[in-house]
Amino acid sequence: MKVLITGAAGLTGAHLVRNCLAGGDTVVGIDNFFRGTRDNIAELLDNDRFTFLECDFREYIKMEREADFDGVYHLAAIVPTRYFYEEPCLTYEVNCQGTYEIFQWALRSRIPPFCQRLKFGNIRTFKGVSHQGNNALSV
Ligand SMILES: NC(=O)c1ccc[n+]([C@@H]2O[C@H](COP(=O)([O-])OP(=O)(O)OC[C@H]3O[C@@H](n4cnc5c(N)ncnc54)[C@H](O)[C@@H]3O)[C@@H](O)[C@H]2O)c1
């Protein structure tokens, strides 16, 4: 499978990239290093099946009007750290508006089978609920 992982240099994203590569997937990872670091993915950068793009996922989906991915894991988010509280507008733009935009983009790109392949990591962040329970939603 060819998958897109946003937030690829983050805590969860870097593990997911590693797991997908180990499972034989081809991975395009995006991160703007808002919080994630290059160190988190350093040992993965030499993998031929991994392409890393340092950019904002919202810019990426504007440039790539459509794409041929089999799945999208959307983990880019501003998680409840100090930024979450200090930058409420940015948090809204990235977590809410940005997720809506990538949802629309995935629909336009007809990523198959859409229902099972678009996973949101930041539903919990939207709701501001506790760190317990299932936070991934298949749509
Ligand atoms: N850490 C956990 O235990 C855990 C568990 C399950 C789900 N989640 C969810 O997974 C998501 C990621 O969590 P995390 O702990 O990995 O956080 P994280 O901050 O480590 O990762 C988020 C990544 O998104 C990147 N990012 C932020 N805005 C971006 C943008 N506009 N464009 C591109 N990249 C951007 C950041 O640089 C960062 O690397 C969150 O929604 C979180 O709620 C986290």
- pLDDT category at 107 given cuts 50, 70, 90 is confident
For every residue of 39-62, DSSP letters joined together read GGGGGGTT-TTEEEEES-HHHHHH
Structural domains in the chain, CATH included, are: 2-138 (3.40.50.720)
* Residue 101 beta carbon below 6 angstroms from any ligand 1 atom: no
Q: How confident is the model at residue 126 (pLDDT cuts 50, 70, 90)?
A: very low
pTM of the model: 0.87
* Weakest mean pLDDT among 6-15, 110-119, 122-131: 122-131
Give the confidence band of 128 by pLDDT, cuts at 50, 70, 90.
Answer: very low
98-106: average pLDDT: 92
Q: Which atom of ligand 1 is nearest to the CA of 36?
A: 39
32 lines ligand 1 (CB under 6 A): yes
Distance 13 CA to ligand 1 centre (A): 7
As a whole number of angstroms, the distance between CA 133 and CA 138 comes to 15
Region for 76 from its dihedrals, namely left if φ exceeds 0, alpha if ψ lies in -120 to 50, beta otherwise = beta
Residue 138 has pLDDT above 60, yes or no: no
Is the distance from the beta carbon of residue 29 to the nearest atom of ligand 1 less than 6 Å? no
